[in-house]
Chains A and B, each alone.
Chain A
Amino acid sequence: MDQIQPTTDPARPRNPLKSWFDVRGRKVGTWAFALNRLTAIGLTVYLFMHLIVLSTLLGGEEGWNTFLAIARSPLFLVLDVVLLFGVIYHALNGTRVALVGMGFAARNHKTLFWVLSAIGIVLFLVGAYLIFTL
């Protein structure tokens, strides 16, 4: 079977990581994609951390209270805000990618991006306020 000719360029070898991670000079779509990946990596790490933290419940009240003391520290609250950003961004951008990929708003993807960004900013600000005040 004919194999497709690769676009490999011996004179200018490209680092595959750099091709999506290097957003210099690129448009909002690449920024959205790169940020989606960064938040994805962060959220995957968080998923495992979340399971580990929940496991402390099995160790009884003392272990949980130790975690709570750490969770109420200002540094942890800042990390919570970073997590909130990651969740909101990945959720809304992921929704856009899923909808566009299924053919909804495929030609209006930019409008969808900005509408969802506006919703995301409001959710983030409200959420960040609640994290520090509740």
Chain B
Amino acid sequence: MTEKTVQLKVMRYKQGQSSPTYQTFPVTVNENTTVLVALTDIRRDQDSSLSLRHSCHHASCGTCGMRINGEEQLACVVKVLDLGTDTVVVEPLNNAPLLTDLVVNMEPFYDRFNTAGLPFIRESEFLPDAEVAEGIENYMRCENCIECGLCVSACPIMGSDPEYYGPAALAAVNRVVEEPRGLETESLLDWVDNQKGCWRCHVAYECSEVCPSGVDPGGHIMALRRQLTRRRFSRLLGG
């Protein structure tokens, strides 16, 4: 097994600091070492104050989203040597308030789902008999989206307008419009029919490029536009 020492240049930030800095750590990796493993190695062997968020290690939970060499990815499935650079730059997601090091505050991200009324989170048909965990009424699922926030970080418009609903919430709204399962969709369409909603998108499709679950948020936003354009014309023609 080939081993190589790679420099991991990690963004560092602690509350109270005026702005983030970078710290470089030498890490010995082999062809199986993921960025997430390299970071946890740093935490274990070099600097226990390095904060990061992770859980499943297999691209399922969406918690280890970060920017690796400038690109939004899940650190658990990116192998360090596959990147092909001697120095790997690791930064937290953009367009989310930085809490510490590689950890961002996901509240604004989830708030967008909440303010839409969470209509797209529907009762799971897969777990009818499962024991429900404390604090929730039912197990729910949200289609393919793993809520990692990569799309929001990559979106050029989120950086221009911090109140833009963003790709994840808009994609979720369109899933309900596509497949209402009895839910009323007109008010949801109204909610996205504004400057902060689906008309803000500038069709750069960065969200779809970085989505690790193939949700294609850009395609969903365009589908919402199609619905709203049709609705406008049909109202104009008295339909």
Give residues in A with beta carbon < 8 Å to B. Answer: 2-12, 14, 16, 18-20, 24-27, 29-30, 32-33, 97, 100-103, 106-107, 109-110
Contacts and interface: CB of A to CB of B under 8 A. Distances in A.
**Range class of the B interface residue count:** 35 or more
Given A8-B162, A102-B225, A97 B108 contact: no
B188 to A, nearest CB: 15
17 contacts: A4-B196, A7-B158, A8-B97, A9-B98, A12-B98, A14-B94, A14-B95, A19-B156, A19-B158, A19-B159, A20-B156, A29-B204, A30-B206, A101-B226, A107-B216, A109-B203, A110-B205
A109 B207 CA distance: 14
The 4 A-B pairs at the shortest CB distance, nearest first, are namely: A19-B159, A103-B226, A25-B70, A6-B162
Nearest to A93: B203
Contacts of B223: 103, 106
A39 to B, nearest CB: 14
Interface string B89-124: 000001111100000100111011001000000000
B159 A11 contact: no
Contact of A5 (B13, B69, B111): B111
B181 interface: no
B208 to A, nearest CB: 8
B152 A109 contact: no
B94 A29 contact: no
Contact of B19 (A5, A6, A8, A12): A12
B157 interface: yes
A26 B70 CA distance: 8
Q: Which of A4, A26, A33, A97 has the most CB of B within 10 A?
A: A4
Given A4-B163, A7-B97, A102 B229 contact: yes
Interface of B: 13, 17, 19-20, 69-71, 94-98, 104, 107-109, 111-112, 115, 152, 154, 156-163, 165-166, 196, 202-206, 209, 216, 218-219, 222-223, 225-227, 229
Given A4-B111, A25-B71, A27-B205, A11 B98 contact: yes
Contacts of A18: 159
A6 B159 CA distance: 11
B27 to A, nearest CB: 22
A74 to B, nearest CB: 37
Given A19-B156, A29-B204, A100-B222, A6 B163 contact: yes
Contacts of A3: 163
Contacts of B96: 7, 9
Contacts of A109: 203, 205, 218-219, 222
A6 B158 CA distance: 10
Contacts of A103: 222-223, 225-227, 229
Q: Which of B20, B196, B203 has the most CB of A within 10 A?
A: B203
A101 B225 contact: yes
Contacts of A16: 159-161
Contacts of A97: 203
Contact of B20 (A12, A20, A30): A12
A29 B219 CA distance: 13
A27 B222 contact: no
Contacts of B219: 106-107, 109
Given A27-B204, A27-B209, A103-B225, 5 more contacts: A7-B152, A11-B20, A29-B204, A106-B219, A106-B223
